[in-house]
Amino acid sequence: MRADPQLVASLVRTAKDLGELRDLLAANGIRPRTNRGLDRRLRRSWRRANAEEAKRLQAQPLEALDHLPYSEVVAGGIVFRIHGIAHGQGFAAKPGAELKQLVRTAAGSFEQGPDCGYATEGGFVRLFGLPEDRQLRYGQALMRRAGARRIVRMLLSAALIPPVLPFLSVVSRMSRDASMREAVASLSDPRRLVRARRLIALYDLPQPIDAELKMATKRDFGLLHSEEMARELLRVARERGVRKMHAIVGLGHEAEMVWALPRLASG
């Protein structure tokens, strides 16, 4: 049965978690045989349902950007602001001077006050010229939790990426994924970051559906990365005794960290 994308998207918005969504889909005659089949159908339907809004968004003029956009969540009595940005790699798809300056200026403002602080994803202090002691230390915990099998799968996938990175701007312009195009373009023009974030919100399934699907299909290394960053961010915030904690991370981790922090804080 070919399901109406708008119906599927409506059920996604209604469900509180993947279990409830499965029940709602079944009640409407939608019963994918496998978790991966369910994953494909949900992601495809969600994008199709939001396609017109995504087109309208892309037609809008770019907005001036004088701060790092963020998502906010309160966890364990601490206000967390998660600033997701595109970042590339040190040897290719490097962030441009304008984005670097924006990040450094924002980071300096994040510690104005005795109860405020910030931390960054691993590797960001080198990319953006930030203090070494603001980098989150979670690599060993991530490797332990991921296990050998996940790490091998991740490395095999990652082995395909380096040859493409020097041509990432060209590849992104050819891509049908508008959020990828805008994210890569934001490396040289930070104004594109606002549009990239809005497109990702339209293209990616909401939490917790997205995270639970990744766990169900065993495609969850990125999710584990987000969770371990969130765990370490929570620990550092408590250790420093701050009431507002900022995190500068990769764009793909933002929504997952916002979802993970309250769960981790509540034990």
Q: Which residues of the chain have pLDDT under 50?
A: 91, 159-174
CB atoms within 10 A of CB 248: 26
**Which DSSP symbol is given to 61?**
P
Helix (H, G, I), strand (E, B) or coil at 207: coil
Per-residue pLDDT at 94: 82
Q: Which residues does residue 117 pair with via DSSP β-bridges, in sequence order?
A: 245
* Distance from C-alpha of 186 to C-alpha of 180, rounded to nearest angstrom: 10
Strand order in the sheet with 244-250: 71-75, 78-85, 244-250, 116-120
* Distance from C-alpha of 199 to C-alpha of 177, rounded to nearest angstrom: 9
Helix (H, G, I), strand (E, B) or coil at 137: coil
Per-residue pLDDT at 175: 52
* Distance from C-alpha of 100 to C-alpha of 42, rounded to nearest angstrom: 36
Contact between residue 225 and residue 257 where contact means Cβ atoms under 8 Å apart = no
* Distance from C-alpha of 176 to C-alpha of 224, rounded to nearest angstrom: 27
Per-residue pLDDT at 114: 84
* Distance from C-alpha of 18 to C-alpha of 20, rounded to nearest angstrom: 5
**Which DSSP symbol is given to 15?**
-
Q: Which two tokens stand for residue 181?
A: 């195009």
Per-residue pLDDT at 150: 67
